Amino acid sequence: MALTVKDMKDRKIGICVSGGLDSKTIATRLREAGAQVLCFTADLGQPDEKDIHDVVKKMAPCGVDTIVVDIRKPMAEACFRTIMAEATYDGGYWNSTGIGRAVTVVEIVKAMKEHGIDTLVHGATGRGNDQMRFERYTNQFAPEMEVYAPWRDAELLKEFPGRTQMCEYLAKHGIVAFPGGKKRYSTDCNIAGLSHEAEDLESMQTAMTIVETTMGSWPMTAPDAIETVTIDFEKGRPVALNGKKLEPFDLLIEANTIGGRNGIGLSHALENRIIGTKSRGVYEAPGMELLGKALRYIYQAILDRRATGIFEEMSRFIANQIYDGRYYDLATQAAFAAVDTFAAYATGTVQVGLYKGNILFQSLTGVKGSLYFEENASMEDAQKGLNPVSSQGFAEIQSVEARSMAKAGQIHTF
């Protein structure tokens, strides 16, 4: 049975907060309901947050303490695993929010357990994906912990139908807040990227270019010259950028900076949500796209046709699992293990040119596991590699099947 605001009395609750109007309203209202409130926020390397500890200051007027959980390292690791699997979701975008939730909830739940929290509270809407992600991960890593979703509580929805009512409520408690003007869209972000949705973006008559980019620029305003970038990979993991070895988080920051200024990684999708509806989004993920596309060139060299087919199946499966809040499921981990088998040969150096949103292949070197050999592919020299004459027998074998189909009347034009 779903918890309501009346059930919060005397509970020791942990609220996942961002410091915004919703967070302040929920924290204040649940304190008023008699709950012992402690707030938690995650440091995911958010590019739109100059100092994550500002969230602590924003929440203080509500009479609550806020704990900042540093999860930059596990977040970067999750990004690298996703890149290794080339796990992009609907429309080919990097699901930065799905990746972020997989790491955030687990690490925050750990912190909540340390502080004796018995109920996790999240501010996700009852129409979106995050409610399912927050609750599934909490159920998996703290099955004894209950979950309260304020924006699925009919009583609270009636009490706070909009931003104006939230501001009026906070004002009665001496907390200054403003509803602000009509926002054109909302944004969720972390080191992997940004997702923009809602408000004006809900209309299919609105161009995606209303979004003001945070991590870079639109291709039309990017530099007019190609920027060459070199990326070193070891077993599917990027380890160096332009010859400089970096830890995963720092490498992602650098990739975001380089890709962002060249208009890389901007995409649009009408994604299929977990609950069955469709949602429109505009996404930024310059670093993920740069690293993922570069790694793809290595996979093209090391995977044969059948291995490519299996890899693509695993990639699609993992992307769906991340989106659905199933990152830690046994099936997902098995799929990642399959990807590791392929990635074991994905070592080498990729050089690409970035130009106004495009990633242009320049060179591939040091890939010992490559199945590409010039002597076999060459149209010129018949003295080395595959003897073209030997293909005659293969062609004749193929012809038997083709002629059989013709004789059987199975072949028709359309």
User: How many angstroms separate the most distant Cα atoms in the chain?
Assistant: 88
| Contact predicate 99/83, CB 8 Å | no
Told to judge if 186 belongs to the known catalytic residues of this protein, a careful annotator would answer yes
* E strand residue ranges, 165-265: 186-190, 193-197, 227-234, 237-241, 244-245
- Residue 209 carries which DSSP code? G
Give the pair of three-digit tokens for residue 26. 């929920």
Residue 287: closest CA among 238, 327, 320: 238
The catalytic position among 101, 136, 237, 326 is: 101
Told to judge if 130 belongs to the known catalytic residues of this protein, a careful annotator would answer yes
Give the pair of three-digit tokens for residue 288. 């993920």
Told to judge if 101 belongs to the known catalytic residues of this protein, a careful annotator would answer yes
The catalytic position among 186, 363, 399, 404 is: 186
Q: Could you tell me which residues are beta bridge partners of residue 119?
A: 13, 146
Give the pair of three-digit tokens for residue 186. 């909302």
Residue 98: closest CA among 328, 276, 341: 328
The distance from CA 356 to its chain's CA centroid, rounded to whole angstroms, is 23
Give the pair of three-digit tokens for residue 8. 């919060």
Residue 204: closest CA among 297, 281, 90: 281
71 burial level (CB within 10 Å; 0-12, 13-18, 19+): buried
- φ and ψ at residue 181, rounded to 5 degrees: -75, 175
Q: What H or E segment, with its residue span, contains residue 299? A: helix 286-302
The catalytic position among 29, 31, 81, 130 is: 130
The catalytic position among 18, 22, 232, 279 is: 22
* Interior angle at CA 102, CA 100 and CA 104, nearest 5: 65
Give the pair of three-digit tokens for residue 160. 């706070």
Give the pair of three-digit tokens for residue 24. 């302040």
Q: Give the dihedral sign, CA 271/273/279/282.
A: negative
> Angle of helix 72-84 relative to helix 286-302, nearest 10 degrees?
40
Beta-carbon contacts of residue 118 (< 8 Å; ≥ 6 apart): 11, 12, 13, 145, 146
Residues carrying an active site annotation:
22, 101, 130, 186
